[in-house]
Amino acid sequence: MTEPLRLSKRMSELGLCSRREADEWIAQGWVRVDGVVVSELGSKVLPHQKITVERQASAQQAKRVTVLINKPMGFVSGQAEDGYKPAVTLITPEARWKEDKAPIQFHPSQLRSLVPAGRLDIDSVGLLVLTQDGRIAKQLIGEDTAIEKEYLVRVKYGKPGRLPDADLRLLNHGLSLDGKKLLPAKVQWQNEDQLRFVLKEGKKRQIRRMCEAVGLKVLGLKRVRIGNVKLGDLPTGQWRYLRADERF
């Protein structure tokens, strides 16, 4: 027998929404299983059962925004901490990039439930995604995500000469953090003091710790791409909406 799953978990697996959204929709009576409305939280379904959502749920989801920020140094990605401001405070009408072509009007309600989909630490800059859409959050930070993140990293080698090729190969594959092997990465020199990292995972301070492991000190770290979405010419401290035609 196939085991029943929580309805909200199954909806998330199917890419319909996040679990939190699923619970909201179930409570509103917007979810049907095999054509029958299911409004009890914690309800379970079998994998073969057909799940559909009412138009109101799709309409609500369509209004959810995703924002791209060029995060400056000194801002935290999520909740305020140690006196540092969260990046969401940068999202004001004045700081919206003049070149933003998205036909969306800013409204303060868009700041509600706007969460970072992947973090940048306080000393790092570049592309940060904040979203109200649980599907995008799951796509970017879910356990099985395979979306690439690209960084430009300025480094200084702590020993005489240059970083040995063997250590560069280690950065590409062979290092472990917290007792767990890292996934293969793409790491190559851009110029004399700058490396380009492309990762498919994002452990806490991963790049800085990888560099430390081979004797490199990180002097600057900038994220320039997530999947197919690039930072491009977005100025530091400014933001724009993810366009309808853009996909990570």
CATH class of 66-144+229-241: alpha beta
CATH class of 149-226: alpha beta
Which residues have a catalytic role annotated? 121
How far does CA 44 lie from the centroid of its chain? 29
CB 17 within 8 A of CB 134: yes
- For the chain, 248 residues long, the average pLDDT of each consecutive 10-residue run is 86 83 90 94 92 85 87 90 89 96 88 88 95 86 84 95 95 93 95 95 91 96 96 97 92
**Domain boundary assignment for the chain:** 5-62, 66-144+229-241, 149-226
Q: What is the pLDDT of residue 118?
A: 87
Fold of 5-62: 3.10.290
